[in-house]
Amino acid sequence: MTQQTDYERIRVDRPGERVARITLARADRRNAQDYKMLYEIDDAFSQAIDDDDVRTIVLAADGPDFSSGHDLSAGGDPIDEFDRVTEWGGFGKEGAEGYYATEQEVYVGLCWRWRNLPKPTIAQVQGRVIAGGLMLVWPCDLIVCSEDASFSDPVTAFGVNGHEFFVHPWEVGARKAKEMLFSGEAIDAETALRLGMVNHVVPLAELEKRTLALAERIAERPSFGLTLAKRAVNHALDGQGQWTTIQNAMGLHHLAHTHNRLVHNGLVVDPAGFSIIKKGAKRG
Ligand code: ZN
């Protein structure tokens, strides 16, 4: 496998014993995710999996906010320049066909791969995590966040049910998932802790240190035990129908994309939606 190291959107380092860290390095854009960033993250995860000296992987982010979500300016672009990692193809086909395949590959497909990586992953989160930002955090096994962290998926403002990796009912519970989606409002760190969505809330100044300490503690344990424990828990979620739920929701999500293209001539570009989200941000 070719070892890519010249990343443009991320950095990779080894901050501790048997710990690899991937850091989103697009702080000037609040770590908005374009396709290049997502494929770079995927490549870095793959390299960490192939390295037997790595037992735990941390996913961190530069700047005040973990991630503002998908870079909408990239929406609808072809992904031909990247090597696909799922079974999907036909990304350039017209109408809903090509874009459905694209989002199955680059959003759902990548998230599902990361959720199933055979090594424990820990998201280290500060500031805002918005919509697609959750799709980097939720596939991780553990989440450590700072007190200022907040989590939202405001896309019903665009007439969409939720972001593509629809695991909201598992992450925050069905009741809170509905409120989160209906209102578009953010869940704060303490609420996320109470709901079991995050493992630990720590002061921002201690976020890196505390995350690494947890990563190193886990990395002292046998790799096979970690892999098997992860699979056992993931299989419990599989048994509850998590994958089927994601795929059902993805159909609704693309119904919304197609509707918006027909009515608003864009994926999510309902001008009213932007003003709703802006109003909500001021309140929050
Ligand atoms: Zn989408």
Q: pLDDT digit string (tens) for 34-51? A: 999 999 999 999 999 999
How many A from CA of 109 to the centre of ligand 1? 13
| Of the candidates 101, 155, 121, 115, the residue with the CA atom closest to the CA atom of residue 48 | 121
What residue has token string 């509707």?
259
How many A from CA of 254 to the centre of ligand 1? 7
Question: Three-state DSSP class for 127?
Answer: coil
How many A from CA of 171 to the centre of ligand 1? 20
Q: For the chain, list the domains and their CATH numbers.
A: 10-264 (3.90.226.10)
pTM summary value: 0.94
How many A from CA of 104 to the centre of ligand 1? 9
pLDDT at res. 160 = 95
How many A from CA of 217 to the centre of ligand 1? 37
Distance of alpha carbon 71 from alpha carbon 256, whole angstroms: 18
How many A from CA of 76 to the centre of ligand 1? 9
How many A from CA of 164 to the centre of ligand 1? 6
Q: Is 184 left (phi over 0), alpha (psi -120 to 50) or beta?
A: left
Centre a 10 Å sphere on the Cβ of residue 100 and count the other Cβ atoms it contains: 20
How many A from CA of 257 to the centre of ligand 1? 7
pLDDT at res. 274 = 61
Residue pLDDT tens, the chain, 284 long: 446 679 999 999 999 999 999 999 999 999 999 999 999 999 999 999 999 999 999 999 999 999 999 987 765 567 888 999 999 999 999 989 999 999 999 999 999 999 999 999 999 999 999 999 999 999 999 999 999 999 999 999 999 999 999 999 999 999 999 999 999 999 999 999 999 999 999 999 999 999 999 999 999 999 999 999 999 999 999 999 999 999 999 999 999 999 998 998 877 665 566 666 666 554 33
How many A from CA of 20 to the centre of ligand 1? 30
